[in-house]
Amino acid sequence: MRTALIFIAGVSVILTLALAPAIGGMFDNGPLPPLSAVVPADNPQTDAKVRLGMQLYFDTRLSADNTISCATCHKPATGWANHDSTDTGIKGQVGGRNSGTIVDAAHMKFQFWDGRAGSLEEQALGPIHNPIEMGETLENVVRKLNAIPGYKQQFQEVFGTDVTTDGIAKAIAAFERTVVSGPSPYDRYVMGDRRAMSAAAVRGMKIFNGKGHCTPCHSGPTFSDQGFHNLGVGMNKPKPDVGRIEVTKDPKDWGRFKTPGLRNVAVTFPYLHDGSEKTLMDVIELYNRGGVPNRNLDPLMQPLNLTRQEKEDVVAFLEALTGPFPVLEAPPLPPDAEASGAR
Amino acid sequence: MRSARCAGWVLVLAASIGLWASRAGAIPAFARKYGFQCTMCHVQFTKLNDFGVAFRDNGYRIMGKEAEEKNVFETPTPVSLRTSAGYNNDTFTNRGGEAADVRAFQLNGLDLLSAGLFSDRIGYFMVYTPEIKGSRSVAAQDGTLEMASVVYGVRSAPTPLTVRLGRFEPAYLAFSAKRSLTVAPYDVYDFAGPDGLAMSDTQTGVEVATVLPCRLKLACGWVNGNESQPSSDSPSGLYLRASRTQRRGEGQVVGQRAGVFAFFGRSRLADGTGNRESIRRLGLDASLNFGQTNVMAQYVKGKDDAALNAFDPRRDYDFSGGFVEVNHSFPREMVGFARWGWVNTPAEQDQDVKGWTLGARYYPEMNVAVHLEYAKREVDHGADEGTSDLEETIWTLRADFAF
């Protein structure tokens, strides 16, 4: 009896230690922080700036042949992404990478698959002067927009200057920061609503954070470690897209691409940097195989041996990461000078 | 009346721990540190999966995430506990007074574990088993620091190189005796001949291990003994192990692994002279995976110098043994297992061991297993006239939990 009592006392001490209020694991997934946490000090949000940014986002006149806007590849109706594997820019040119979603991009540390932009402001100008995407020079865009009275006036109101590249970047970035998702069934579940997710999604959540080995990379509020990894996608091609190394020149980054966030992932198909996987199940199959072997394959890529049911459960969980996000129509755009009668 | 009260305590404790563990989603030290489910590293606890093996090989650091690791002072209390409680029926026939039957509800031991990182390159792993004096309701347990090792990560994944110092489970054990799914032990690992080396014992020493890009895993170590035969100052020795996995994975859940090991040591004679004589063990092992089925096989051959052979000092002491285990993961958190094992002793001893076990574990929560097992073990006493074979039958139904 004495032994049993000592045992019980010992167990109680250990339980007290072990079940102390959670400090939080290194890879916990919490809710998105408030927008104020990701607005840079040199580009505060204002309604006028967001309205201006929205117009620029939908305006094809930012491209060389006036056919492509940001919204062409990042359509609100398709999850602010594009359902094509890779995008088609001016003159029918086809790019090599899939469009990432704008939803919650405000919470990402790096922009573009290779992370070459460290902010939305930096990102906003990239596609404009990319020869395959919008193919326009920044000087020409500034000249064109300055010739549109409606823009010139709004830039004066918002920035106190004529149209500048800096102003274009800041306005588009400010607009993009408003494209954020609301609480998903997953968020409601972790807040205590045990009916917010299906039984399959709950099982999938455990697999995601266990046997599926997803969490080491897909963690944090956006379900991204904000890092870069080599899954081997496309690495077996004769001339593969080598990703992050082109930015850093660090051999360790060969074949690495940004970990995308997973919020609303169910609506942003196809997947991976080249859009090579059409469905979530296809992506899970890729992970289940342990990626594509190559000389710099991420050591976290291990075959998983998931059953069919387990894969379906993970898909159900990923679908439960879909929260409401704004689906906006293109706003009325300032007319050209000729149309407005201005000189 | 007294034992009924003890059994009542045991059941209340088991139920409340299970409830706590379930409600809290409580998880052991590493899982709590990272916020992972147990199944990140375990197929079903306690058996490691491929990720868990790679994590251990990488010095208890997430592969590729070494720079983001936190040390024990920055993470939740790195303490966890494992025990099990349930009904044990352990009976012997023809025992000749060697052991007593058990038919009772019991708590089965207690492991206190602590693990983590002291710095970005130095990890540790510790298991302490407090001494528990056996009673009808609590199984006896020797108090010992079962494992306490510090691991220095010289190089990181995918080709880690680690130096482990302290008391640990040596790499010559292809299948961890501490992480077995079964209650019945691996007989060949537990078998201690006259030299006193039981492979399943943890050893104190140093081990260097690495993984080469060609998926060849190498380990070598220098250890100085265990407690199987303290009276003869347990054996010390050097060992080497090499294993290679075909296809991806570590051979735990995916991939096909084959390995070899060799242990060369010296064991002190029990004659009080202080002289030591040579002992050696050679082994082959394989771990094959077919879908959700894992087949594990181990063969061990041992040879001790004749001077150590208490049964016939004119001849070297030769023995061999092994086991084949099959386990299969069923849907809905269930694993079934079956194992056949044997040890063939020299003719002059003639105490061959044969055993098999069959059972299943069901996981209502990832850190709680309901364990049902039936095992039989037979020790041949054929050469000893007038003594019948010893037969042990175990069946147990218990809740096994870690938190």
Whether residues A203 and A297 share a domain: the answer is yes
Minimal Cα distance from B10: which residue of A?
A4
Dist CA B2 CA B25 (whole Å) = 34
Is the residue at A23 inside a domain? no
Q: For residue A65, what is the domain's CATH number? A: 1.10.760.10
pLDDT band at A22, cuts 50/70/90? very low
Query: Between A3, A211, A303, which is nearest B39 by CB?
Result: A211
pLDDT for res A37: 87
Is residue B300 within 8 Å of B285, Cβ to Cβ?
A: no
Look at B26 and A19 and tell me if their CB atoms are within 8 Å.
Answer: yes
Is the residue at A6 inside a domain? no
Q: What is the mean pLDDT of residues A239-244?
A: 95
B402 has which bridge partners? B82
Chain B, residues 168-207, CB within 8 A of chain A, namely none
Look at A4 and B2 and tell me if their CB atoms are within 8 Å.
Answer: no
Q: How many domains does chain B have?
A: 1
Q: Which among A149, A162, A175, A145 has a CA at the least distance from the CA of A48?
A: A175
Q: What residues in B contact A26, CB-CB < 8 Å?
A: 33-35, 68-70, 75
Q: Which among B68, B106, B84 has a CA at the least distance from the CA of B21?
A: B84
pLDDT digits (tens, 9 = 90+) for B133-151: 888 888 888 888 889 999 9
Q: What residues in B contact A206, CB-CB < 8 Å?
A: 37, 39, 366
Q: Is the pLDDT of residue A197 over 90?
A: yes
Dist CA B3 CA B48 (whole Å) = 37
First to last CA, chain A: 99
pLDDT for res B22: 36
Q: Which among B144, B149, B140 has a CA at the least distance from the CA of B114?
A: B149
Look at B254 and A302 and tell me if their CB atoms are within 8 Å.
Answer: yes
Whether residues A163 and A247 share a domain: the answer is no
- pLDDT < 70 positions in chain B: 1-27, 94-99, 226-235, 382-388
Whether residues A71 and A145 share a domain: the answer is yes
Is the residue at A17 inside a domain? no
> Which domain range does residue B306 map to?
2-402
Q: Is the pLDDT of residue A339 over 70?
A: no
Q: How many domains does chain A have?
A: 2
Contact B115/A at CB under 8 A: no
Instruction: Strands of B118-235 (E only): list them.
Output: 122-129, 144-155, 161-168, 203-211, 216-223
Dist CA B293 CA A265 (whole Å) = 33
Whether residues A95 and A46 share a domain: the answer is yes
Query: Between A4, A209, A305, which is nearest B36 by CB?
Result: A209
Dist CA B25 CA A218 (whole Å) = 20
pLDDT digits (tens, 9 = 90+) for B169-189: 999 999 999 899 999 999 999
Provide the percentage of residues in chain A whose pLDDT is more than 70. 92
Residue ending a domain, choose from A180, A215, A244: A180
pLDDT for res B224: 83
Q: How close, in Å, is residue A239 to chain B by CA atoms?
A: 24
Q: Which among A232, A257, A320, A314 has a CA at the least distance from the CA of A281?
A: A314
Q: For residue B376, what is the domain's CATH number? A: 2.40.160.10
Residue ending a domain, choose from A180, A207, A233: A180
Chain B, residues 270-289, CB within 8 A of chain A, namely 289
Look at A25 and B32 and tell me if their CB atoms are within 8 Å.
Answer: yes
Contact B14/A at CB under 8 A: no
> Which domain range does residue A255 map to?
185-319
Is residue A224 within 8 Å of A262, Cβ to Cβ?
A: yes
Q: What is the mean pLDDT of residues A73-94?
A: 93
Is the residue at A242 inside a domain? yes
Q: Is the pLDDT of residue A115 over 90?
A: yes
Residue type, B375: A
Is the residue at A19 inside a domain? no
